[in-house]
Structure 1
């Protein structure tokens, strides 16, 4: 049922004044439906329930008001009660498709998606209007999405578009399914077919441009996005995608123009500001790049890409002090962001602030980033700090994630020799040379004080012979 804001305002005002005065006024059932719909749309559940109660007192045989009652029960997770009420309504009106839709909704909320689909298919058989068919097919498509049955979902979203070609959410869902299945060529084929009958559909042109961008067909992507902009010259998404395409084509000035159009069309987005900054950096306009990176973090202080971009900008130019200033600010804003701690550790290591670097690597590991480099870097920093036992413990943990790794084994060998545990040192060095003799330089690089020891020389020499 379609509701108009103007239609509902007058009965709504009367209804609310009635609630204040306790005078009982009469409303026809349609007016009650509009009032309840309005409250549900605005999340006013208590007022919805009062309107349903009063509506049913005045219109006890109204099936539609009872269906609103079902909606409330579903919102309150009272599925059994909702089911019972729907069974009673079905006995009264066995061919009312809305009852089947609500029944499917109850089943869906309980994760009984296949049963929900079967119920919706019954509603489709009963349906008499193409518009209802479109909505019902879309609902079936959504249930298939819940089941991760993307091929079936595509079938029903396509049926939805056959009944209602302007249902852009169905179009988005079709493309989403194709994306999930990595079926870019199928998505392109479908979008081209759709555009043959809907040549001015900016959403379809935009999606087509996205697909071509994914498969690196930049010229075709650019052309499709031009058509999206011709169809709607205020379509921000199309300018953003066109900017991305132009970046790929290394046309940075044109990319900036497109991103800047989006800033004029609506409130600036951190994404557009960040991309403009990156384009200026590529063009060597450092002052403008910094200006836009700063705008990015002002616009969205919790966007990690903004902080990482400005930090890495300074790192690339070997200005580690400035880089450290920004990454410190980022860490204060979000101390749980693993990307910040990785960069924090790297910068501090470059500046030879070893305690801080170690803290960064340790925090990175605590936050679940178990990359080999993180373990190795932490171990090397601890070794330089003379914390050999800590370095050994760190590497033993690393070896649980990377068993039989030569880089770990050489380091463990060196560390055990340094703490005078010769047998452990010999064991790990032999293991290391068997795994990969080419990494033996780790000993001379990290543990130069050990290189002249006869035992170490002999094991490495033996390893070289064995590998030849």
Structure 2
């Protein structure tokens, strides 16, 4: 499927999509020219809205039943939805009508990619390139196939060629940056992205892509400069405003971030994401009331936005309103139960109001969905320790240590629990290991358990490692 949405007609495409959706909602007859239908379908595919893309294909084919382009689009959408048999049936039908069409090979490549048959997918895409070597979408699909095949250098090569042919492919930029990051080659590609701004210094997309590059490298000042050029050239470049705001957040410049998030959507058409981000910025500034208002506005647009529910819980937590925060944290985990952060926050709130059993359940869930999150394990074991269940706390931390043997934090906590359980020899052995892993973190032992400062044996062992 060719990317028909270029930067210049992006707004026109969105207007067409809205008109299409309005006509469907009002059950009006849907009539568009072929190019408009192609743009509508491409928009949905780009945003991974494959059910809507199929709906647009069906509406288009009812108006243009003999369009080869639409039949190909439908086959590709079916493949992306996982209906491979129907996709193959459809593309075989097109092949009989137009056997020399390069999109037949491309579509078969997409089907193979979706099936995980990457070698075959690459062969199909290369066959398509032999017919049309300057097709940026074929290079992009080759990049996807190689990336899925874990061949990141080959993927990067084709993403780069795709961007040379079409610098407006934002997805291509993101995938290229990911591949370069994975292979440790980000730094050496600065000139590749700068070349686009050198060739066309008035291209907002070129500056936007350069900003993405610097953002990935955490070079915040340069990223902000690049995004700023993009929005100066094109003030209604909403994605660039969003990323400029994100860059300011990374620099903890929250008021600047708020101003840019306010510009990251068309006037009068705020998005739930932008409103939630603004709420979070006010939260960081500890301005609770405007933060609450923005989180609430986000929920008015999207009542199932877990981030906004969680944000309101954090606001209440920060104000010491623990009991009230529980409702919001529970709603957040109900909507998105795969966040260890959400479950840990719920656990902390439940524990604070004395709901120990509920807190333990929440922390258990936190470690289940996010076993790499240190805080979940520490907080869960700390409750057991506080309840006097020293042996259970030891067993839990041993499990955490087995999962993260190089995490000194766990070893220090385990040392304290072993001491409380009267297992001195094991405690000192554990402390030695913790000190060898990270001596500086030994202060954690006394932060969590101040009473241990008075144990001379511990102090001697720590002093030995200092020397």
TM-score by length of 1: 0.66
Counterpart secondary structure, 1:346:
helix
Counterpart secondary structure, 2:236:
coil
The Cα of 1:260 is off from its aligned counterpart by 1.1
What are the within-5 Å matches in structure 2 for residues 7-406 of structure 1?
8-9=57-58, 29-30=68-69, 32-76=71-115, 134-135=168-169, 139=172, 142-143=175-176, 145-148=178-181, 149-150=185-186, 151=190, 154-155=193-194, 174-228=210-264, 231-313=267-349, 321-322=354-355, 324-333=356-365, 336=368, 337=371, 339-368=375-404, 371-372=407-408, 374-388=410-424, 390-391=426-427, 394-395=430-431, 398=434, 401=437
Q: Distance in 2 between matches of 1:104 and 1:243?
A: 37
Alpha-carbon displacement from aligned partner over 1:157-191 (angstroms, at most 9, x marks no partner): 869998986x7xx9876544322212111111112
Q: Distance in 2 between matches of 1:105 and 1:375?
A: 42
The Cα of 1:97 is off from its aligned counterpart by 6.9
Q: 1:275 to 1:171 in 2, by over 3 A?
A: farther
The Cα of 1:313 is off from its aligned counterpart by 4.0
The Cα of 1:252 is off from its aligned counterpart by 0.9
Q: How many residues are matched?
A: 397
The Cα of 1:256 is off from its aligned counterpart by 0.9
CA contact (8 A) 1:191 1:204 kept: yes
The Cα of 1:442 is off from its aligned counterpart by 1.6
CA contact (8 A) 2:283 2:291 kept: yes
Structure 1 gap ranges (5+): 16-25, 408-438, 447-455
Structure 2 gap ranges (5+): 3-34, 42-53, 444-451
User: 290-299 vs 92-101, which deviates more?
Assistant: 92-101
Alpha-carbon displacement from aligned partner over 1:379-415 (angstroms, at most 9, x marks no partner): 44434434445445645655664689999xxxxxxxx
CA RMSD of aligned residues (A): 4.7
Alpha-carbon displacement from aligned partner over 1:192-236 (angstroms, at most 9, x marks no partner): 211112223333222222222222223322322333367354222
Q: Distance in 2 between matches of 1:370 and 1:251?
A: 39
The Cα of 1:237 is off from its aligned counterpart by 2.1
CA contact (8 A) 2:360 2:383 kept: no
CA contact (8 A) 1:134 1:164 kept: no
The Cα of 1:249 is off from its aligned counterpart by 2.1
CA contact (8 A) 1:142 1:153 kept: no
User: 345-354 vs 228-237, which deviates more?
Assistant: 228-237
CA contact (8 A) 1:134 1:163 kept: no
CA contact (8 A) 1:246 1:255 kept: yes
Alpha-carbon displacement from aligned partner over 1:85-117 (angstroms, at most 9, x marks no partner): 666666666777776666666666656665666
User: 242-251 vs 151-160, which deviates more?
Assistant: 151-160
Look up the match of 1:443.
456
Q: Distance in 1 between matches of 2:199 and 2:82?
A: 28
Q: Distance in 2 between matches of 1:300 and 1:107?
A: 31
